[in-house]
Structure 1
Amino acid sequence: MRLLIMGPQGVGKGTQAALLSKHYNIPAISTGDIFRFNIKNKTPLGLEALEYINKGELVPDELTNKIVKDRLAQDDAKNGWILDGYPRNASQVEALDAMLADLGTPLDAVVALTADHDVLMDRMMKRAQLEGRSDDNPEAIAKRLDVYAKETAPLLDTYKSRGLLHEFNGVGEIDDIQATIIKGLGE
């Protein structure tokens, strides 16, 4: 099973990716984790990414695409994966399509989690309090949700037109959401 998990920050993508990873016995791959691994292990791609990060710049799509492709080609991803945090824009969708064609591994489904804006704001403010995250202040949260709405949410239409999109409510009991996703994916 090769899945994308998409939705705005705070909707529960990471939680559901981890649960689905265990259920399907495939790795949950977050782009943030990939970057941290490559930087920590001082890989050539990690060192290149670090140059941008140290300048406070976003890592360019071209480099992000290389890092994702490298990760999807690793042995533990041969039987499938759940990709969280990628693609984030139309350019990355095209790159992912090319990667999957090169690897001979088509995408099986896109899981999109949804929640109302107010619920997301509330969740992320609580997370900020629990985890002491300085990047989770109301202004930063609102900006990230706005970027998602403008750049990433439109990608859902692309996957819908391909017949790959499965949308689920990200509000409720975690186990109930997981069960609904698994049932919706045909298990």
Structure 2
Amino acid sequence: MSTPELLTREWVTQLVVGEGLCPFAHPVLQNLRIDVSDSSDAEQVTMEFMALLSEVAEADPAQIPTALFVIPNQFAHFDDYWNWSLICDNLLVQMGYEGLLQLATFHPHYLFEGEDEDDMSHFTNRSPYPMLHIIREADIEAALASVAQPEKIPERNRRHMRRLGKEGLLKKMPILAQSRLFQDDPNTQES
């Protein structure tokens, strides 16, 4: 059985970098920081997130260029996660990191508004566990300057995931079959 950190690292390596979903990820992969919160208490998880946010903001970018905050024991429901991610965005601003850092959101049951629930496009932001990606804005700006037509990346990724399909995804990463990515979404289960 893989730990949350190992499965997350494999997901980044095989899918995010390996499938080219993020053309900016490969250069920072070696120094990618992955912090896992073992807490099932939302307040504790938020405190741990704030500590990591401060650590990334104050660190030398060469030492911690980017970080993933993985939450395996909290926010199983996408709506709960989404509401919490909005709180984290507000905390980032309140802590004075706006313009320096930004957050990207990933969840096993991520849903883009306006897309069919079964559309593979959601897998561009689906991850084995709920997580937040802390990204340096300067790195994003530098990376965007080096990519032709960066505004086309999201649509290219959606098309790629649709071509790949669930079978192709599982062929590339069989371990995902046992992950939350392929378990029923708790939002759709009857109480």
Asked if these proteins are the same fold (TM beyond 0.5), I'd say: no
| Greater relative contact order (CA < 8 Å, ≥ 6 in sequence) | 1
TM range (shorter): 0.3 to 0.5
With structure 1 as the length reference, what TM-score do the two structures score?
0.37
